[in-house]
Amino acid sequence: MFCLFSFLGPNGGDCSYPVAWNDIQPKFGWWKIPEKERIANNSREVFAECLYAPACLGGINKKLADRHFEARTSTLHPNMTCSVALGFKNFSRLCHSCSNGYKRKGTNRCALCPPNQSDNWLLIMGGGFVMFIVLAVISGDAVNQAGKQTLSASIQKILLNYLQVVTLFSAFPLRWPKELEFLFEVQGAISTVGEHLLNPDCLTTSASGAVLYYSKQQMFAVLPVIIACISFLIWYMYGVYSNHSFFKVRTSSTHTTPKDKFIITFTTILYLLYPTLCKNAFGLFDCKLIGGKYFLKIDLEEECYTGRHWNMMIFLGVGQLILYVIGLPLVVYVILHINRGTLKDHVTLARYGLFYGSYKTDRFFWVSLIFVSIY
């Protein structure tokens, strides 16, 4: 059987020239599913659309010609299915995996790693330092304004919410301009504690994308506990050196104690970390159907709902959904509901004013609704 016209061939197949049915090659932006996989999974799907079109080489694709110059001419190669020049691993599923020496950029692209390991470590340490400065400034400002309702604090909170929401657009499967992608990274570094500055992908060449992803998941899953311990240690030592014991009973209703400052610091950092925790939790459930099987979207070489992924999805995915995605807004609501009669008092306003200080006291639950509706 021969493919003579494009409308007679399978979706994504290049039928611009007479070719035997089994020898049909993909169009630009499409990937041919191996015949063994199609037979094993009893799938009629022959080609799958790539997540990032320029990663997949192929024949002329008129539908993508307006968006990609490469789609106007055939890029078929007998020994190559993926664009190695863009950093993608040849013959990888949907040409989604990055080659050695490249790291993930955004969700579906690859970027060149620094040539030396020392440069990789320098970039990570620099990113960690910048993140520490951002957290220190925001947390310090929250501590200084404890118990006060200022216009600047309200504007700062609105700005942070805006930056967090805008950063989420970077995950949409759109071809953003490079300038806008850079803007997303800057906004994400300021408004969230995430992977915009810390990316260890270039530190190893032997680990698969799934292994690196699971490692990051585990790190971010325990990060709130680490932050709580570090914050406690800092303010406990501050209390020792300032002769204001962390556990000392409050002597004045208008005094901000080291314990108050610990709660302010911890809740402020959690506020910045929450979008990343949500993204990680939902990412473990994000699978794509290809040729009759589901594969993890972050690494399309990792099969979903079996083996390692099943364990990670149950323990890390479901665990983070319960503890963080649902648990954190619920805990905030419960604490504010219990203290609803003292919301204007210095102690409550100092500790939890970040969550309700900009709203009317009878709308103390509004921040929980925002978290649930956005994330």
Give the residue-averaged pLDDT of 164-188: 66
Quick one: pLDDT at residue 193?
Answer: 56
Residues 259 and 306 grouped into a single domain: yes
In this structure, are 239 and 360 located in the same domain?
yes
Instruction: Say whether both 157 and 193 belong to one domain.
Output: yes
> Do 88 and 127 belong to one domain?
no
Most confident of 58-62, 166-170, 322-326, 364-368: 322-326
Q: Which residue has the higher pLDDT, 171 or 229?
A: 229
Kindly state whether residue 28 falls inside one of the protein's structural domains.
yes
Q: What is residue 169's predicted lDDT score, i.e. its pLDDT?
A: 67
List the one residue out of 23, 13, 71 whose CA is nearest residue 47.
Answer: 13
Answer whether residue 269 shows pLDDT above 70.
yes
Are residue 168 and residue 127 in the same domain, yes or no?
A: yes
- Number of helices (H) and strands (E) in the chain: give both, helices first: 11, 10
Residue 310: per-residue pLDDT: 94
Residue 107 lies in a domain: no
Asked if 33 and 291 touch (Cβ cutoff 8 Å), the reply is yes
Question: Does residue 192 sit within a domain?
Answer: yes
Stronger pLDDT, 50 or 251, i.e. the higher one: 50
**Is 251 found in the same domain as 173?**
yes
Q: Cα torsion at 30, 34, 35, 36 (round to 10°)?
A: -150
Tell me: the pLDDT tens digits for 289-331? 998 899 999 889 999 999 899 999 999 999 999 999 899 889 9
Partners of 88 in the β-ladder: 98
Host domain of residue 367 = 117-374
Q: How far apart are the first and last CA of the chain?
A: 50
Same domain, 134 and 269: yes
Question: Within a domain: residue 109?
Answer: no
Could you tell me if 182 and 283 lie in one domain?
A: yes
What local confidence, expressed as pLDDT, does residue 139 receive? Answer: 74
How many domains does the chain contain in total?
A: 2
Asked if 179 and 272 sit in the same domain, the reply is yes
Angle between helices 366-374 and 327-338 (to 10 degrees): 170
Residue 141's pLDDT band (cuts 50, 70, 90): confident
**Confidence category of residue 152, pLDDT binned at 50, 70, 90:** low
Shared domain for 82 and 137, answered yes or no, is no
Do 223 and 317 lie in one domain? The reply is yes
Residues 123 and 217 in one domain: yes
Across all residues in the chain, what is the average pLDDT? 80
Give the residue-averaged pLDDT of 87-110.
87
Task: Write down the pLDDT at residue 157.
Answer: 67
Higher-confidence residue: 209 or 198? 209
**Lowest-confidence segment of 21-30, 103-112, 192-201 by average pLDDT:** 192-201
pLDDT over 70 for what percent of the chain? 77
Structure confidence at residue 95 (pLDDT)? 92
Of the pLDDT bands very low, low, confident and very high (cuts 50, 70, 90), residue 192 is low
- Are the beta carbons of 301 and 293 closer than 8 angstroms? no
Domain final residue, candidates 28, 62, 96: 96
User: Averaged over 197-225, what is the pLDDT?
Assistant: 78
Answer yes or no: is 165 within a domain.
yes
